[in-house]
A and B are shown apart, each in its own frame.
Chain A
C-alpha cells in the first residue's frame, strides 16, 4: 500500500513538474559558446561596406541591408552574393539610411531611418511596396501573416510598440516604457517576440530587460548592469543619455533570450546575456568583435558584426 502511494506521488510530481521543465526550454544551459562557420565580406572585397540589418530565411539564405551601399543584398547559405537591390535615393525600393530588416515567409521588411513606413520586398529582392507607419521606426519584427511589430518614439509621448497589418492599420499597441528613467530617448528599444506572442524588450539607454504580454502587461523586468542612473550629455540644452545599456535582443529556437550589452557591459558591445523565459540569467558569453545587433535563425546560428560592419559573421551556438 505504501509502495503504491510512493509510486503515485512520483507519478503526480512528474505530471506536474515535467511540462513546467519542458516549457522552460530545458533550461539546463550553463555555458554558451560560439563556433564560427561563415564570414561574409572583408577588407579586401566589396561584398559589404557597413551592414546594418540582417535576416535569414528557412533555406539558409542571408539578407543584409548595407548602409554605405544603400542596398539590400542576398547571400546564399555558402556566403556567395546572389542578388543586390536598391540604390541611393527616395524612390520605390531606394534607400537613404537603411537600418532594420526582418523576414517572414516570402516577404522581407526593411526600414529606412527617415521614412515613415516599412519597405516590402520578396525574397528575390523585388520591391513590392511600402507599409505606412504613423511614426519613425526604432525596432522591427515580422510576426507572420503579414503582421509587423514596430517600436516608434515620440518627443512628447513615450515610445510604443505597434502591431500593424499588411496595410499599415494599427491592430494593437502598448507602451512598455514606464516607471523611472523617462526622458528623451529613454524608451529607445529593441524587441523580439516569442512563439506565444509575448515581447522581450531591451532598452538602449536603460539598464532594463523586460517581458511583456501582447496585451501590454509587464511580466518581469531585470537589470544586469548595476546602473541605476545613466550618464547624460547636454547637446544644445537637450539632456541625452550618452552610454548604451543593451543594443539588441534575439531568441533562439529553444526560447532562450539573448541580449547584447552596450557600452556599459564589461566588454562593450560584445557581451551577450542569455536568459530563460522568466528572466533568469543562465549564461554570458563574449562576441569576438563588437556588434550593433544580434540575429539568431531557426537553426540556432547567430549572426553578428565584425570589422565595423564590413564583415558579417555566422556562428553556431554551442550549448553546455
Chain B
C-alpha cells in the first residue's frame, strides 16, 4: 500500500492507504472524500476529479495526455500550473506520500 494525502479547500488534511494500480480519484472516492467527484468514472470525460498537485510532487508525475489537457480547460475551479485530473494519476511506489490539494468546487 502507498500513502496519499488529500487537503481540501478549507485546509483539512486526510491521508489514506491506496493499493498500487488504483487511480488517485478511485482511492479518494472510495474513501468518501467529498471534494473529489469523479462523475465519469475515470474516462477523463468530466473534469470533476480536478486536483492541484503539490509543487514538490508535480514534476514526478508522467506528462498528461492530450485528452486530459483538453478536459483541464473545463474545470469549474480555476486551472493552475499544477492542475491535473486525479483519475489519470495511477498510484504506485514512486508516488508513496503524494500530496494533492482539492479545488473549491468540482461542479
The answer to whether A and B interact is: no
Chain A interface residues toward B at CB < 8 A: none
